[in-house]
Amino acid sequence: MNENIHMRAQGLLAESLVEGISATDQSWLEQHLRTCEDCARQAETTRGLLRALRGVAVTVPADLAARTQLRVRLRAQESVAGPRSNLVLWLLIGMSWLLGIFSAPLIWRGFGWLGSELGLPKLVLEFGFVLWWAVPALLAVAVVLHQRGMASPGRTQL
C-alpha cells in the first residue's frame, strides 16, 4: 500500500508538470510531499531538471516548420491516394482479364489468320498469344513497383 502511494505521487507529479492535474489531486500531492521527504526531494529534483531543460537554447533551421508541414501534407496525400489508386488498378486488371477471357477465341482466330498470311510458325503464334495475356499483368506489376518506389520513405528529399 505504501509503495502505491509513492507511485501515485510520482505519477501525479509528472502529470502536473506536463499536463496539469485536478485540484483534488493537486491538494493530495501537496499534502503527500509535505509528509514524505523522499517524494519531496524527488519532486524538487524533477522540477530543477525541468527548469534546466527549459533553459537550454536549441537552434533549429528557420524553415523547419514549413518543411515538416510539407512532409505531413505529402504523407497525408499518399495515404489518401494510395488505397484508391490501388483499387482502380485492381479493377482495371480484373476488367483486362475478363476482356481477355471473352476475347480469347477471337484473338486466337486473329493470330491464326495473321500467321497464315505471314507464314509464321505455330510456335510464334502461341508465343504471341501468351504475350497477349501476359502484357497487362506485367504492366500492372510495373505500375505497382513504380508506386512503391515513389512512396518509399528514403525517396522523398526535402
8 or 60, which is more confident: 8
pLDDT value at residue 158: 46
Cell reading at 68 = 515538416
Distance CA 16, CA 48 (A): 14
pLDDT value at residue 112: 86
Which tens digit of pLDDT belongs to each residue from 87-116? Answer: 777 787 788 778 878 888 888 888 888 888
The alpha carbon of residue 146 and the mean position of all alpha carbons in its chain are separated, in whole angstroms, by 17
Contact, 125 vs 108, CB < 8 A? no
Distance CA 3, CA 1 (A): 5
Question: Domain limits of the chain?
Answer: 2-55, 64-151
One-letter identity of residue 88 = V
152 or 4, which is more confident: 4
Which of 23, 22, 28, 24 lies closest to 9 in space, CA to CA? Answer: 28
